[in-house]
Structure 1
């Protein structure tokens, strides 16, 4: 295993800790922070993560030093650019929903957007558009985030 793979794995887990912590605070703890504020922090971090995953696609589309030139690379780049912008737009929408209408609806939007982004990336990975090892880390992040989103959603609805 390459050193960068180990570092990426560690950083993936570390990046999930604020999400898990805030979900735990919303569901289990009677803290001095109002639940509304905790939900806003939870939604905001979820939106940041979703936008970050989109940014990965954007970065891959701008990569100029390709070892192998393949036919259709330009159309792949267009798909990557879309996969870079759509998650950021959905993240912005989730934050707007949380501030202007309902934080629970924002959590629901993220609960739909996170696995959809993962599935879109899986389709790209199957076509060789993503580096080896990326989807393993990605599915860990999707599983943890989706679990947290669904637990918070259920806790706030029932």
Structure 2
């Protein structure tokens, strides 16, 4: 398995900026008028990020087969494909819930889904199915994302 390129680290950290800016705007902006649009931007970006994390697994499942095939290779590919699709679906449910019903409900769905996916990825990492350095970066991105989600939840509920 290849090492994680440095540019991936830089881009992952830079990718957190829209999330942080939206969260700060939701928490610190005093007028109630633009908040619904900002909440939708926040939920949409989190949903897209969740789908992107799933896409990592989809890409790994579709990479060329290794020279040495183990007995669990088919099961690993099926797990990767499931991890590739389910986060996108959950992100869509969160975005639709936020749009059709209540933005805070979409944030709550994402606040559960983001760390849950990271825990599932940790299991894949332990089996050697993810590149070196991926989980370190993933934990940083997950921690920042989860902090933003929880801060927005607390700010909107209380």
Category of TM-score, reference length = shorter chain = over 0.9
Residues 1:37 and 2:20 are matched in the alignment: no
What is the Cα deviation at residue 3 of structure 1? 9.7
Distance (whole Å) between structure 2 residues aligned to residue 28 and residue 4 of structure 1: 36
* Structure 1, unpaired ranges of 5+: none
Does residue 110 of structure 2 align to residue 110 of structure 1?
yes
| Counterpart position of 2:96 | 96
Q: How does 1:57-136 map to 2 (within 5 A)?
A: 57-136=57-136
For 1:66 and 1:25, how far apart are their aligned partners in 2? 47
Q: Larger deviation: 129-138 or 28-37?
A: 28-37
- Listed as ranges, the matches of 1:17-32 within 5 Å are 17-30=17-30
For 1:11, the equivalent position in structure 2 comes to: 11
What is the CA RMSD across the aligned residues, in angstroms?
1.8
- What's the offset of the Cα at 1:53? 0.3
Asked if structure 1 preserves the Cα contact closer than 8 Å seen for 2:4 and 2:134, the reply is no
Size of the aligned set, in residue pairs, is: 157
Contact kept in structure 1, 2:3 and 2:131, CA below 8 Å: no
Q: Which has the higher contact order (CA 8 A, sep 6+)?
A: 2
Instruction: Tell me how far 1:29 sits from its aligned partner.
Output: 2.3
Give the C-alpha shift of residue 124 in structure 1.
Answer: 0.5
Tell me if 1:55 matches 2:55: yes
For the 8 Å contact 1:23–1:42, the answer to whether it is kept is: yes
Moved beyond 3 Å, runs of 4+ = 30-33
CA–CA distance in 1 between the matches of 2:42 and 2:68?
41
